[in-house]
Amino acid sequence: MLRHVLAVCFIFALMLLIGGSAIAADLNGGNLSVSATFPLGTSVAGNPVVKTVTPGASYSNVDNFLGTGFANQGSGTDPALPTNTITRLVADDLTPVGGGTCTLFRFSVVNFADHDISARPRVRFYLDNAGVPGNVITGFTFNPIVFATGSASVFTTGALAAASQFPLPSTKFWAGITFDNSSGATGAAPEDLDQLGQAIFNPPLVGSSANLYFETTSQGAFLSNNPPGATATFGGANPPPANFGWEFVVPEPGTLSLAGLGLLGLLARRR
């Protein structure tokens, strides 16, 4: 009987760890909130700023802003929705310190335009496939948000609902963003969307990232396996590392242990 109880406890802990059933749909991420904003052209890397690593972060690179970013560009008609205008997808390779069920994440957006822009950020996560994005893990489309002119902001999802939590790999994976105008509802023209992208941060405070990014060959939502594109690094004199601002939080290991022990005690008491 003890063997059976231990097996049940192990399965329960494993379910918590990998996050339940597979996710196939584009999830509605709802509203975002701003956790930090930096003016373009001002680096905070190495300065005595307050570090804001979220407890339980398995990967965190949202503190050492290098003063610049990278715009997605390539805006055009959405292949899946002709009324929608959307950019290319740009992704970064991330290696966390461990996997688990992601319960919250943060990401950065930069606006290079001389005016505010309203758009929808659409986030996609992929497993690694020999150095490029492979099988899709999940995707989120957030409500339109106004990105302030000449700034880089870090946005947080807040605590994800149970149905939106997803399995974060323990090895290298890819995190990317594309932007659209919600079929014209946000008022953003193609030239506006072309000014949006991700902010560059380095070094990560938790986990690591190689000096390269991935960019799709055309515009689109790319909630699919093996998006077409290629990796690259930034050129020019003294180029910044190709590391964008991301953070992922998983439950503390102690939380899983206590949950398993609690279930074991409950089943033993019932027995």
For 122-181, how does the pLDDT look when each residue is reduced to its tens digit (9 = 90+)? Answer: 999 999 999 999 999 999 999 999 999 999 999 999 999 999 999 999 999 999 999 999
Residue pLDDT, tens place only, 43-63: 887 655 556 799 999 999 999
Do residues 39 and 151 lie in contact, with contact meaning Cβ atoms separated by under 8 Å? yes
Residue 42: which pLDDT band, with cuts at 50, 70 and 90?
confident
Residue 13 has pLDDT above 50, yes or no: no
Q: What local confidence, expressed as pLDDT, does residue 237 receive? A: 86
Asked if the model's pLDDT at residue 5 lies above 80, the reply is no
CA 76 and chain centroid, separation: 23
Work out the mean pLDDT of the chain and round it to a whole number.
Answer: 87
Q: Give CA–CA dist 199/228, Å, rounded.
A: 23
CA end-to-end span of the chain, whole Å? 9
Flag whether pLDDT at 219 surpasses 60: yes
Q: Give the pLDDT score at 43.
A: 86
Those residues whose C-beta lies under 8 Å from the C-beta of residue 185, and which sit 6 or more positions away, are 144
User: What is the distance of C-alpha 17 from the center of its chain?
Assistant: 19
97-108 per-position pLDDT tens digit: 999 999 999 999
Looking at residue 14, its pLDDT comes to 39
Quick check: 67 pLDDT over 70?
yes
Amino acid 98: pLDDT: 95
Confidence (pLDDT) at 44: 81
Give the pLDDT confidence score for residue 46 in this predicted structure.
61
Q: Which three-class secondary structure string do you get for 153-179? A: EEEECCCCCHHHCEEECCCCEEEEEEE
State residue 240 phi and psi, 5-degree precision. Answer: -75, 160
